[in-house]
Amino acid sequence: MKIKYLDGKRFHAGLLAGGRAVIRSKNYLNKINVFPVADADTGTNLAMTMQAILDKSKIGRTLHETLSSVSDSALSGARGNSGIIFAQYLHSLSNELPKKGVISVKKFAEGAQNAVKHLYDSLMNPVEGTMLTVIREWAESIEEQSHKTTDFMHLLTDSLNVARKSLQETPKKLKVLADAGVVDAGASGFVDFLEGIVEFIHKGSLKGHAEVVIDEGLSDINEYHTEDPSEFRFCNETMIADCKYPLNELKKKISHFGDSLIVAGDQKKIHLHIHTNDPEGLFEVLHEVGSLSGIKVDDMHRQYEIAHERRYPIGIITESACDLPDDILDKYQISQLPLGINFGDVQYLDKQTIQADKFYHKLKATAIHPNSAQPNFALTKTLMEFVSRHYDDVISVNISDHLSGAYHTFSTAAKTIPKANIHLINTKQISGSQGLIALRVAESIESGMSVEQIIEKSSKWIKNTVLYTDVPTLKYMIRSGRVKKFQGAIGTLLNLKPLVTLDDRGKSILNGKSFTRAGNMNRTAKMVKTKLKTQKLWKYCIVHADNLKRAHQYEEILTTLTGQRPAYIMPISPVVGVHSGNGTVGVGVMYD
Protein backbone atom coordinates (compact mmCIF):
# COMPACT_ATOMS: atom_id res chain seq x y z
CA MET A 1 0.00 0.00 0.00
CA LYS A 2 1.33 3.39 -0.98
CA ILE A 3 1.62 6.11 1.66
CA LYS A 4 0.96 9.45 -0.05
CA TYR A 5 0.83 11.68 3.03
CA LEU A 6 1.65 11.90 6.72
CA ASP A 7 -0.87 12.95 9.36
CA GLY A 8 -0.48 13.16 13.11
CA LYS A 9 -1.53 9.57 13.79
CA ARG A 10 0.79 8.02 11.20
CA PHE A 11 3.72 10.18 12.23
CA HIS A 12 3.28 9.35 15.92
CA ALA A 13 3.00 5.61 15.25
CA GLY A 14 6.24 5.69 13.26
CA LEU A 15 8.00 7.54 16.07
CA LEU A 16 6.84 4.93 18.57
CA ALA A 17 8.30 2.16 16.43
CA GLY A 18 11.57 4.00 15.90
CA GLY A 19 11.88 4.91 19.57
CA ARG A 20 11.33 1.34 20.70
CA ALA A 21 14.03 0.12 18.31
CA VAL A 22 16.53 2.54 19.86
CA ILE A 23 15.59 1.50 23.40
CA ARG A 24 16.19 -2.15 22.52
CA SER A 25 19.63 -1.25 21.15
CA LYS A 26 20.66 0.59 24.32
CA ASN A 27 23.29 -1.88 25.55
CA TYR A 28 24.93 -2.20 22.14
CA LEU A 29 25.13 1.57 21.75
CA ASN A 30 26.68 1.90 25.20
CA LYS A 31 29.36 -0.62 24.32
CA ILE A 32 30.46 1.12 21.11
CA ASN A 33 30.38 4.62 22.65
CA VAL A 34 33.84 6.20 22.28
CA PHE A 35 33.07 9.76 21.11
CA PRO A 36 33.09 12.49 22.34
CA VAL A 37 33.94 10.61 25.57
CA ALA A 38 34.14 6.85 26.01
CA ASP A 39 31.81 6.96 29.01
CA ALA A 40 29.50 4.13 27.86
CA ASP A 41 26.24 6.05 28.17
CA THR A 42 25.16 7.06 24.64
CA GLY A 43 22.69 4.16 24.50
CA THR A 44 21.25 5.05 27.88
CA ASN A 45 20.96 8.73 26.95
CA LEU A 46 19.26 8.03 23.64
CA ALA A 47 16.97 5.46 25.26
CA MET A 48 15.91 7.99 27.92
CA THR A 49 15.27 10.58 25.20
CA MET A 50 13.10 8.11 23.28
CA GLN A 51 11.31 7.04 26.45
CA ALA A 52 10.41 10.66 27.16
CA ILE A 53 8.85 10.86 23.68
CA LEU A 54 6.95 7.61 24.18
CA ASP A 55 5.68 8.62 27.62
CA LYS A 56 4.81 12.29 27.12
CA SER A 57 4.00 13.01 23.47
CA LYS A 58 0.38 13.10 22.31
CA ILE A 59 -1.38 12.70 18.98
CA GLY A 60 -2.77 16.09 18.03
CA ARG A 61 -5.54 17.08 15.65
CA THR A 62 -2.91 17.88 13.03
CA LEU A 63 0.57 16.69 12.17
CA HIS A 64 1.94 20.02 13.39
CA GLU A 65 0.29 19.60 16.80
CA THR A 66 1.63 16.05 17.03
CA LEU A 67 5.14 17.02 16.02
CA SER A 68 5.10 19.97 18.43
CA SER A 69 4.16 17.59 21.25
CA VAL A 70 6.91 15.16 20.20
CA SER A 71 9.45 17.98 19.93
CA ASP A 72 8.52 19.39 23.34
CA SER A 73 8.74 15.93 24.95
CA ALA A 74 12.10 15.29 23.33
CA LEU A 75 13.57 18.64 24.38
CA SER A 76 12.42 18.18 27.97
CA GLY A 77 13.54 14.58 28.28
CA ALA A 78 16.68 14.56 26.12
CA ARG A 79 19.89 13.29 27.68
CA GLY A 80 23.49 13.51 26.54
CA ASN A 81 25.09 14.79 23.36
CA SER A 82 23.24 12.50 20.98
CA GLY A 83 19.89 12.77 22.75
CA ILE A 84 19.90 16.57 22.53
CA ILE A 85 21.06 16.55 18.90
CA PHE A 86 18.17 14.24 18.07
CA ALA A 87 15.72 16.41 20.03
CA GLN A 88 16.99 19.56 18.28
CA TYR A 89 16.46 17.96 14.89
CA LEU A 90 12.85 17.14 15.80
CA HIS A 91 12.40 20.69 17.09
CA SER A 92 13.81 22.15 13.87
CA LEU A 93 11.64 19.79 11.80
CA SER A 94 8.53 20.89 13.68
CA ASN A 95 9.31 24.51 12.78
CA GLU A 96 10.01 23.74 9.12
CA LEU A 97 7.02 21.57 8.21
CA PRO A 98 3.73 23.28 7.23
CA LYS A 99 1.49 24.23 10.15
CA LYS A 100 -1.73 23.05 8.54
CA GLY A 101 -2.96 19.98 6.71
CA VAL A 102 -1.24 16.69 5.96
CA ILE A 103 2.32 16.48 4.64
CA SER A 104 3.32 15.27 1.20
CA VAL A 105 6.66 13.68 0.33
CA LYS A 106 7.85 16.92 -1.27
CA LYS A 107 6.96 19.07 1.77
CA PHE A 108 8.51 16.54 4.16
CA ALA A 109 11.74 16.45 2.15
CA GLU A 110 11.97 20.24 2.14
CA GLY A 111 11.41 20.38 5.89
CA ALA A 112 13.92 17.59 6.61
CA GLN A 113 16.59 19.36 4.57
CA ASN A 114 15.95 22.81 6.07
CA ALA A 115 15.97 21.39 9.60
CA VAL A 116 19.56 20.21 9.12
CA LYS A 117 20.80 23.80 8.85
CA HIS A 118 19.15 24.71 12.17
CA LEU A 119 20.64 21.58 13.73
CA TYR A 120 24.18 22.57 12.71
CA ASP A 121 23.56 26.13 13.92
CA SER A 122 22.67 24.83 17.39
CA LEU A 123 26.19 23.44 17.89
CA MET A 124 29.28 25.51 18.59
CA ASN A 125 31.62 23.04 16.83
CA PRO A 126 29.82 20.48 14.63
CA VAL A 127 31.89 17.31 14.16
CA GLU A 128 31.52 15.15 11.05
CA GLY A 129 31.54 11.39 11.34
CA THR A 130 28.83 11.52 13.99
CA MET A 131 25.03 11.50 14.14
CA LEU A 132 25.15 14.91 12.46
CA THR A 133 26.66 13.48 9.29
CA VAL A 134 24.18 10.62 9.06
CA ILE A 135 21.20 12.95 9.61
CA ARG A 136 22.52 15.36 6.98
CA GLU A 137 23.21 12.67 4.36
CA TRP A 138 19.87 10.99 5.11
CA ALA A 139 18.06 14.34 4.66
CA GLU A 140 19.94 14.96 1.38
CA SER A 141 18.82 11.55 0.19
CA ILE A 142 15.23 12.33 1.20
CA GLU A 143 15.33 15.53 -0.85
CA GLU A 144 16.83 13.72 -3.85
CA GLN A 145 14.31 10.84 -3.68
CA SER A 146 11.37 13.25 -3.38
CA HIS A 147 11.87 14.13 -7.07
CA LYS A 148 11.42 10.45 -8.01
CA THR A 149 8.54 9.26 -5.81
CA THR A 150 5.43 10.44 -4.03
CA ASP A 151 5.32 7.34 -1.79
CA PHE A 152 6.65 7.57 1.76
CA MET A 153 7.28 3.83 1.83
CA HIS A 154 9.76 4.07 -1.05
CA LEU A 155 11.16 7.35 0.22
CA LEU A 156 12.01 6.08 3.71
CA THR A 157 13.14 2.62 2.58
CA ASP A 158 15.57 3.98 -0.01
CA SER A 159 16.89 6.73 2.25
CA LEU A 160 17.47 4.17 5.03
CA ASN A 161 20.04 2.47 2.81
CA VAL A 162 21.84 5.80 2.42
CA ALA A 163 21.82 6.27 6.21
CA ARG A 164 23.25 2.78 6.71
CA LYS A 165 26.04 3.50 4.23
CA SER A 166 26.73 6.85 5.92
CA LEU A 167 26.94 5.08 9.30
CA GLN A 168 29.48 2.56 8.03
CA GLU A 169 31.65 5.41 6.75
CA THR A 170 31.77 7.32 10.05
CA PRO A 171 35.14 5.76 10.99
CA LYS A 172 36.61 7.22 7.79
CA LYS A 173 35.64 10.70 8.97
CA LEU A 174 36.58 10.40 12.65
CA LYS A 175 39.90 8.82 13.60
CA VAL A 176 38.86 7.96 17.15
CA LEU A 177 36.20 5.63 15.70
CA ALA A 178 38.66 3.98 13.33
CA ASP A 179 41.14 3.42 16.17
CA ALA A 180 38.43 1.76 18.24
CA GLY A 181 37.05 -0.30 15.37
CA VAL A 182 33.49 0.99 15.80
CA VAL A 183 30.95 3.21 14.12
CA ASP A 184 29.62 6.27 15.91
CA ALA A 185 27.18 5.27 18.65
CA GLY A 186 24.86 8.25 18.22
CA ALA A 187 24.74 7.75 14.47
CA SER A 188 24.02 4.07 15.00
CA GLY A 189 21.13 5.01 17.25
CA PHE A 190 19.67 7.26 14.56
CA VAL A 191 19.88 4.42 12.02
CA ASP A 192 18.18 2.11 14.54
CA PHE A 193 15.42 4.72 14.77
CA LEU A 194 14.97 4.79 10.99
CA GLU A 195 15.02 0.99 10.80
CA GLY A 196 12.26 0.82 13.40
CA ILE A 197 10.12 3.18 11.34
CA VAL A 198 10.69 1.33 8.07
CA GLU A 199 9.97 -2.04 9.67
CA PHE A 200 6.74 -0.64 11.06
CA ILE A 201 5.75 0.72 7.64
CA HIS A 202 6.22 -2.68 6.04
CA LYS A 203 4.45 -4.59 8.82
CA GLY A 204 1.80 -1.98 9.52
CA SER A 205 1.52 -2.89 13.18
CA LEU A 206 3.38 -2.00 16.34
CA LYS A 207 2.38 -5.34 17.88
CA GLY A 208 4.38 -7.29 15.34
CA HIS A 209 7.44 -5.09 15.67
CA ALA A 210 10.38 -7.49 15.89
CA GLU A 211 13.00 -7.36 18.63
CA VAL A 212 16.47 -6.16 17.65
CA VAL A 213 19.06 -8.87 18.12
CA ILE A 214 22.13 -7.54 19.91
CA ASP A 215 25.46 -9.33 19.88
CA GLU A 216 26.30 -8.98 23.59
CA GLY A 217 29.77 -10.37 23.01
CA LEU A 218 30.81 -7.77 20.44
CA SER A 219 33.97 -9.76 19.81
CA ASP A 220 34.76 -7.71 16.69
CA ILE A 221 35.12 -4.46 18.66
CA ASN A 222 38.61 -3.52 19.77
CA GLU A 223 39.24 -2.85 23.43
CA TYR A 224 39.61 0.92 23.52
CA HIS A 225 41.36 3.17 26.02
CA THR A 226 42.72 6.70 26.06
CA GLU A 227 45.03 8.25 28.60
CA ASP A 228 42.67 11.19 29.07
CA PRO A 229 39.04 10.60 28.06
CA SER A 230 38.33 14.33 27.86
CA GLU A 231 39.91 17.67 28.63
CA PHE A 232 36.67 18.52 30.42
CA ARG A 233 35.36 16.38 33.23
CA PHE A 234 31.70 17.27 33.66
CA CYS A 235 28.78 16.90 31.24
CA ASN A 236 26.19 19.56 32.07
CA GLU A 237 22.59 19.87 30.95
CA THR A 238 19.67 22.10 31.88
CA MET A 239 16.39 23.44 30.57
CA ILE A 240 16.19 27.23 30.29
CA ALA A 241 12.77 28.87 30.15
CA ASP A 242 12.28 32.41 28.80
CA CYS A 243 15.94 33.04 27.99
CA LYS A 244 16.91 36.73 27.99
CA TYR A 245 19.27 36.30 25.05
CA PRO A 246 18.99 35.06 21.46
CA LEU A 247 20.51 31.61 21.07
CA ASN A 248 23.64 32.82 19.27
CA GLU A 249 24.34 35.35 22.04
CA LEU A 250 23.82 32.69 24.68
CA LYS A 251 26.34 30.43 22.93
CA LYS A 252 28.92 33.23 22.88
CA LYS A 253 28.25 34.02 26.54
CA ILE A 254 29.13 30.52 27.75
CA SER A 255 31.30 28.98 25.01
CA HIS A 256 34.51 29.72 26.95
CA PHE A 257 33.45 27.30 29.69
CA GLY A 258 34.19 24.18 27.63
CA ASP A 259 33.23 22.20 24.51
CA SER A 260 30.44 20.02 23.07
CA LEU A 261 28.10 23.00 23.40
CA ILE A 262 24.58 22.45 22.10
CA VAL A 263 21.81 25.03 22.47
CA ALA A 264 18.64 23.28 21.34
CA GLY A 265 15.17 24.76 21.10
CA ASP A 266 14.28 28.46 21.06
CA GLN A 267 14.32 31.38 23.50
CA LYS A 268 11.08 30.24 25.10
CA LYS A 269 12.44 26.78 25.89
CA ILE A 270 16.09 25.73 25.54
CA HIS A 271 17.82 22.46 26.31
CA LEU A 272 21.48 23.26 26.86
CA HIS A 273 24.39 20.82 26.87
CA ILE A 274 28.08 21.56 27.49
CA HIS A 275 31.22 19.84 28.81
CA THR A 276 33.17 21.89 31.35
CA ASN A 277 35.50 21.73 34.36
CA ASP A 278 33.60 24.53 36.10
CA PRO A 279 29.93 23.64 36.61
CA GLU A 280 29.61 26.15 39.44
CA GLY A 281 30.85 29.07 37.30
CA LEU A 282 28.75 27.94 34.35
CA PHE A 283 25.53 27.79 36.32
CA GLU A 284 26.25 31.08 38.04
CA VAL A 285 26.02 32.64 34.58
CA LEU A 286 23.04 30.52 33.49
CA HIS A 287 20.96 31.48 36.52
CA GLU A 288 21.14 35.06 35.21
CA VAL A 289 19.90 34.27 31.69
CA GLY A 290 16.60 32.53 32.46
CA SER A 291 14.69 30.12 34.68
CA LEU A 292 16.53 26.79 35.02
CA SER A 293 15.11 23.33 35.61
CA GLY A 294 16.20 19.74 35.06
CA ILE A 295 19.80 20.50 36.01
CA LYS A 296 22.13 17.54 35.50
CA VAL A 297 25.90 17.23 35.95
CA ASP A 298 27.63 13.94 35.11
CA ASP A 299 31.23 13.12 35.98
CA MET A 300 32.50 11.78 32.65
CA HIS A 301 35.91 10.82 34.02
CA ARG A 302 34.29 8.65 36.69
CA GLN A 303 32.02 7.09 34.08
CA TYR A 304 34.99 6.34 31.85
CA GLU A 305 37.00 4.79 34.68
CA ILE A 306 34.12 2.60 35.78
CA ALA A 307 33.39 1.44 32.23
CA HIS A 308 37.00 0.85 31.15
CA GLU A 309 39.39 0.93 34.10
CA ARG A 310 37.59 -0.30 37.18
CA ARG A 311 39.96 -1.09 40.04
CA TYR A 312 37.83 -3.46 42.10
CA PRO A 313 35.04 -6.00 41.51
CA ILE A 314 32.75 -4.14 43.92
CA GLY A 315 31.56 -0.60 43.22
CA ILE A 316 30.40 2.05 45.68
CA ILE A 317 27.59 4.58 45.33
CA THR A 318 26.64 7.26 47.82
CA GLU A 319 24.98 10.67 47.79
CA SER A 320 26.47 14.10 48.33
CA ALA A 321 25.53 14.30 52.03
CA CYS A 322 28.36 11.81 52.54
CA ASP A 323 31.41 13.99 53.19
CA LEU A 324 34.55 12.47 51.69
CA PRO A 325 37.39 14.41 50.03
CA ASP A 326 37.78 14.24 46.25
CA ASP A 327 41.07 12.33 46.47
CA ILE A 328 39.35 9.50 48.36
CA LEU A 329 36.37 9.48 45.99
CA ASP A 330 38.80 9.28 43.06
CA LYS A 331 41.03 6.63 44.61
CA TYR A 332 38.14 4.22 45.19
CA GLN A 333 36.09 5.33 42.14
CA ILE A 334 33.11 6.17 44.35
CA SER A 335 30.09 7.53 42.48
CA GLN A 336 28.32 10.32 44.34
CA LEU A 337 24.80 11.45 43.40
CA PRO A 338 24.12 15.12 44.21
CA LEU A 339 21.15 16.10 46.35
CA GLY A 340 19.29 19.28 45.49
CA ILE A 341 19.36 22.69 47.21
CA ASN A 342 16.81 25.42 46.52
CA PHE A 343 17.22 29.08 47.42
CA GLY A 344 13.64 30.08 46.71
CA ASP A 345 13.05 29.31 43.04
CA VAL A 346 16.76 28.96 42.24
CA GLN A 347 17.91 25.34 42.05
CA TYR A 348 21.41 24.00 42.73
CA LEU A 349 23.09 20.61 42.80
CA ASP A 350 25.08 20.00 45.97
CA LYS A 351 28.88 20.08 45.44
CA GLN A 352 28.43 20.46 41.69
CA THR A 353 26.68 23.69 40.74
CA ILE A 354 27.34 25.17 44.18
CA GLN A 355 30.43 24.48 46.30
CA ALA A 356 30.74 24.92 50.05
CA ASP A 357 32.50 28.29 50.11
CA LYS A 358 29.95 29.96 47.86
CA PHE A 359 27.05 28.26 49.65
CA TYR A 360 28.05 29.45 53.12
CA HIS A 361 28.67 32.96 51.82
CA LYS A 362 25.21 32.93 50.23
CA LEU A 363 23.70 31.55 53.44
CA LYS A 364 25.04 34.59 55.31
CA ALA A 365 24.22 37.14 52.63
CA THR A 366 20.64 36.24 51.70
CA ALA A 367 17.45 36.43 53.75
CA ILE A 368 16.06 33.42 51.87
CA HIS A 369 16.69 30.22 53.79
CA PRO A 370 17.44 27.30 51.46
CA ASN A 371 15.70 23.94 51.41
CA SER A 372 17.23 20.58 50.62
CA ALA A 373 15.65 18.34 47.98
CA GLN A 374 15.55 14.61 47.41
CA PRO A 375 17.52 13.03 44.56
CA ASN A 376 15.69 12.75 41.28
CA PHE A 377 14.38 9.18 40.93
CA ALA A 378 15.23 8.85 37.23
CA LEU A 379 18.79 10.10 37.74
CA THR A 380 19.19 7.79 40.76
CA LYS A 381 18.06 4.80 38.76
CA THR A 382 20.27 5.74 35.81
CA LEU A 383 23.35 5.97 38.03
CA MET A 384 22.58 2.66 39.73
CA GLU A 385 22.00 0.94 36.39
CA PHE A 386 25.25 2.28 35.00
CA VAL A 387 27.38 1.27 37.99
CA SER A 388 25.74 -2.14 38.40
CA ARG A 389 26.39 -2.87 34.72
CA HIS A 390 30.15 -2.63 35.25
CA TYR A 391 30.68 -4.24 38.68
CA ASP A 392 30.04 -7.72 40.02
CA ASP A 393 28.36 -6.12 43.05
CA VAL A 394 27.50 -2.58 44.13
CA ILE A 395 27.27 -1.25 47.68
CA SER A 396 25.19 1.88 48.22
CA VAL A 397 26.26 3.75 51.37
CA ASN A 398 23.36 6.04 52.26
CA ILE A 399 22.44 8.83 54.66
CA SER A 400 20.22 8.01 57.65
CA ASP A 401 16.65 7.37 56.54
CA HIS A 402 15.50 9.54 59.49
CA LEU A 403 17.34 12.56 58.07
CA SER A 404 16.51 12.27 54.37
CA GLY A 405 14.31 10.40 51.92
CA ALA A 406 17.37 9.57 49.83
CA TYR A 407 17.65 6.04 51.25
CA HIS A 408 14.05 5.33 50.22
CA THR A 409 14.73 6.70 46.71
CA PHE A 410 17.84 4.53 46.32
CA SER A 411 16.02 1.49 47.70
CA THR A 412 13.05 1.93 45.37
CA ALA A 413 15.31 2.48 42.37
CA ALA A 414 17.35 -0.64 43.16
CA LYS A 415 14.21 -2.78 43.13
CA THR A 416 13.41 -1.69 39.58
CA ILE A 417 16.76 -2.84 38.17
CA PRO A 418 16.55 -6.53 37.18
CA LYS A 419 19.44 -8.84 38.08
CA ALA A 420 21.41 -6.02 39.70
CA ASN A 421 23.53 -7.03 42.68
CA ILE A 422 22.97 -3.80 44.62
CA HIS A 423 23.33 -3.87 48.41
CA LEU A 424 22.08 -0.87 50.39
CA ILE A 425 23.53 0.23 53.72
CA ASN A 426 21.47 2.62 55.82
CA THR A 427 24.37 4.17 57.73
CA LYS A 428 22.11 6.01 60.22
CA GLN A 429 24.74 8.72 59.86
CA ILE A 430 25.37 11.88 57.87
CA SER A 431 28.28 14.02 56.68
CA GLY A 432 31.66 13.00 58.16
CA SER A 433 30.41 9.97 60.07
CA GLN A 434 28.72 8.67 56.92
CA GLY A 435 31.96 9.38 55.10
CA LEU A 436 33.90 7.20 57.54
CA ILE A 437 31.57 4.27 56.91
CA ALA A 438 31.98 4.71 53.14
CA LEU A 439 35.76 4.85 53.62
CA ARG A 440 35.67 1.66 55.72
CA VAL A 441 33.68 -0.07 52.98
CA ALA A 442 36.17 1.15 50.34
CA GLU A 443 39.23 -0.02 52.26
CA SER A 444 37.57 -3.39 52.89
CA ILE A 445 36.95 -3.79 49.16
CA GLU A 446 40.59 -2.88 48.50
CA SER A 447 41.74 -5.53 50.99
CA GLY A 448 39.79 -8.22 49.11
CA MET A 449 36.89 -8.64 51.51
CA SER A 450 33.77 -10.15 49.91
CA VAL A 451 30.53 -8.22 49.60
CA GLU A 452 28.86 -10.61 52.04
CA GLN A 453 31.56 -9.98 54.66
CA ILE A 454 31.29 -6.22 54.20
CA ILE A 455 27.51 -6.19 54.57
CA GLU A 456 27.76 -8.38 57.66
CA LYS A 457 30.40 -6.16 59.28
CA SER A 458 28.71 -2.89 58.32
CA SER A 459 26.18 -3.12 61.16
CA LYS A 460 29.06 -3.18 63.65
CA TRP A 461 30.76 -0.24 61.94
CA ILE A 462 27.53 1.76 62.09
CA LYS A 463 27.03 0.96 65.77
CA ASN A 464 30.61 2.06 66.55
CA THR A 465 30.39 5.37 64.65
CA VAL A 466 29.53 8.67 66.34
CA LEU A 467 29.07 12.21 65.03
CA TYR A 468 29.62 15.04 67.51
CA THR A 469 28.23 18.27 66.04
CA ASP A 470 29.20 21.56 67.65
CA VAL A 471 26.69 24.17 66.38
CA PRO A 472 26.66 27.89 67.20
CA THR A 473 22.86 28.10 67.05
CA LEU A 474 19.90 25.75 66.78
CA LYS A 475 17.88 28.05 64.52
CA TYR A 476 18.76 26.17 61.31
CA MET A 477 17.99 22.77 62.83
CA ILE A 478 14.69 24.09 64.19
CA ARG A 479 13.68 25.40 60.75
CA SER A 480 14.41 22.04 59.15
CA GLY A 481 12.83 19.99 61.94
CA ARG A 482 16.14 18.35 62.87
CA VAL A 483 15.46 19.12 66.57
CA LYS A 484 12.20 19.82 68.38
CA LYS A 485 11.09 23.43 68.65
CA PHE A 486 10.69 23.43 72.42
CA GLN A 487 14.29 22.23 72.80
CA GLY A 488 15.43 25.00 70.52
CA ALA A 489 13.44 27.62 72.40
CA ILE A 490 15.20 26.74 75.66
CA GLY A 491 18.61 26.89 73.99
CA THR A 492 17.86 30.27 72.45
CA LEU A 493 16.47 31.67 75.68
CA LEU A 494 19.53 30.70 77.73
CA ASN A 495 21.98 31.43 74.89
CA LEU A 496 23.36 27.91 75.21
CA LYS A 497 25.67 26.33 72.64
CA PRO A 498 24.30 22.87 71.77
CA LEU A 499 26.19 19.68 71.02
CA VAL A 500 24.14 17.50 68.66
CA THR A 501 24.64 13.78 68.00
CA LEU A 502 22.62 10.99 66.38
CA ASP A 503 20.77 8.27 68.26
CA ASP A 504 20.81 4.59 67.31
CA ARG A 505 18.00 5.19 64.81
CA GLY A 506 19.91 7.96 63.07
CA LYS A 507 17.82 10.86 64.42
CA SER A 508 19.33 14.12 65.67
CA ILE A 509 19.37 14.56 69.46
CA LEU A 510 20.86 17.10 71.84
CA ASN A 511 23.76 15.58 73.75
CA GLY A 512 24.60 18.51 75.98
CA LYS A 513 24.72 22.29 76.06
CA SER A 514 27.45 24.72 77.05
CA PHE A 515 27.49 28.44 77.71
CA THR A 516 30.52 28.72 75.39
CA ARG A 517 31.65 26.82 72.33
CA ALA A 518 34.90 26.08 74.14
CA GLY A 519 32.72 24.08 76.49
CA ASN A 520 31.45 22.03 73.54
CA MET A 521 35.00 21.34 72.44
CA ASN A 522 35.95 20.14 75.91
CA ARG A 523 32.79 18.06 76.17
CA THR A 524 33.52 16.39 72.80
CA ALA A 525 37.09 15.60 73.85
CA LYS A 526 35.82 14.17 77.14
CA MET A 527 33.32 11.87 75.39
CA VAL A 528 36.00 10.62 72.98
CA LYS A 529 38.37 10.02 75.90
CA THR A 530 35.71 8.03 77.76
CA LYS A 531 35.02 5.87 74.71
CA LEU A 532 38.73 5.15 74.24
CA LYS A 533 38.86 3.53 77.66
CA THR A 534 36.85 0.60 76.33
CA GLN A 535 37.17 0.83 72.54
CA LYS A 536 40.03 1.24 70.10
CA LEU A 537 39.95 4.14 67.65
CA TRP A 538 39.76 3.25 63.95
CA LYS A 539 39.72 6.70 62.34
CA TYR A 540 38.15 10.09 62.81
CA CYS A 541 37.46 13.09 60.59
CA ILE A 542 36.60 16.74 61.09
CA VAL A 543 34.11 18.67 58.97
CA HIS A 544 33.22 22.35 59.19
CA ALA A 545 30.82 24.97 57.82
CA ASP A 546 33.12 27.84 56.84
CA ASN A 547 35.04 27.49 60.12
CA LEU A 548 38.46 26.04 59.27
CA LYS A 549 40.09 27.79 62.24
CA ARG A 550 37.88 25.96 64.72
CA ALA A 551 38.34 22.70 62.80
CA HIS A 552 42.11 23.00 63.33
CA GLN A 553 41.55 23.64 67.04
CA TYR A 554 39.66 20.35 67.21
CA GLU A 555 42.45 18.69 65.25
CA GLU A 556 45.05 19.84 67.77
CA ILE A 557 43.08 18.58 70.78
CA LEU A 558 42.08 15.25 69.24
CA THR A 559 45.53 14.51 67.82
CA THR A 560 47.00 14.94 71.31
CA LEU A 561 44.22 12.84 72.83
CA THR A 562 44.25 9.96 70.33
CA GLY A 563 47.83 10.05 69.04
CA GLN A 564 46.36 10.01 65.56
CA ARG A 565 45.73 12.75 63.03
CA PRO A 566 42.31 12.99 61.39
CA ALA A 567 41.73 10.95 58.26
CA TYR A 568 40.64 14.20 56.64
CA ILE A 569 39.38 17.72 57.30
CA MET A 570 36.88 19.19 54.82
CA PRO A 571 33.89 21.53 54.45
CA ILE A 572 30.47 20.23 55.40
CA SER A 573 28.40 19.50 52.32
CA PRO A 574 26.08 22.41 51.47
CA VAL A 575 23.04 20.12 51.59
CA VAL A 576 23.95 19.31 55.22
CA GLY A 577 24.82 22.95 55.91
CA VAL A 578 21.21 23.86 55.05
CA HIS A 579 20.31 22.31 58.41
CA SER A 580 23.42 22.97 60.53
CA GLY A 581 24.19 26.54 59.47
CA ASN A 582 27.39 28.56 59.33
CA GLY A 583 30.17 28.00 61.83
CA THR A 584 29.28 24.39 62.67
CA VAL A 585 32.06 21.87 63.25
CA GLY A 586 31.46 18.13 63.25
CA VAL A 587 33.73 15.35 64.50
CA GLY A 588 33.01 11.90 63.08
CA VAL A 589 34.62 9.01 64.96
CA MET A 590 34.62 5.28 64.26
CA TYR A 591 35.71 2.99 67.08
CA ASP A 592 36.63 -0.68 66.84
Where is 385: in which H helix or E strand?
helix 377-390
CB-CB neighbours of 507 under 10 Å: 15
Mean pLDDT by 10 residues, the chain (592 residues): 76 89 93 84 90 89 86 89 92 87 88 93 91 96 92 89 96 92 95 92 57 37 45 93 94 94 92 96 96 92 91 97 98 96 92 96 88 87 91 97 93 89 97 98 98 97 96 70 54 63 89 71 93 96 97 97 97 94 95 92
**Backbone φ/ψ region at 218: left (φ over 0), alpha (ψ -120 to 50), beta:** left
Determine the pLDDT at residue 388. 93
Give Cβ neighbours of residue 290 (< 8 Å, ≥ 6 apart).
Answer: 240, 241, 242, 243, 244, 270
Determine the pLDDT at residue 237. 93
CA atoms 242, 246, 251, 254: torsion sign: negative
Where is 373: in which H helix or E strand?
strand 371-373
The Cα–Cα gap between 429 and 459 comes to: 12
Give Cβ neighbours of residue 581 (< 8 Å, ≥ 6 apart).
Answer: 363, 471, 472, 473, 475, 476, 477, 545
> What structural domains does the chain harbor?
5-203 (1.25.40.340), 234-460 (3.40.50.10170), 463-591 (3.30.1180.10)
**Three-state secondary structure readout of 346-361:** EEEEECCCECHHHHHH
Determine the pLDDT at residue 591. 96
Determine the pLDDT at residue 275. 94
In terms of C-beta density within 10 A (0-12 exposed, 13-18 middle, 19 or more buried), how is residue 59 classed?
Answer: middle
The per-residue DSSP string of 90-158 comes to HHHHHHHS-SSS-EEHHHHHHHHHHHHHHHHHTBSS--SSSHHHHHHHHHHHHHHHTTT-S-HHHHHHH
Of 386, 14, 11, 29, the residue nearest 189 (C-alpha): 29
User: Distances from the Cα of 99 to the Cαs of 64, 66, 424, in angstroms?
Assistant: 5, 11, 52
Position 93, amino acid = L
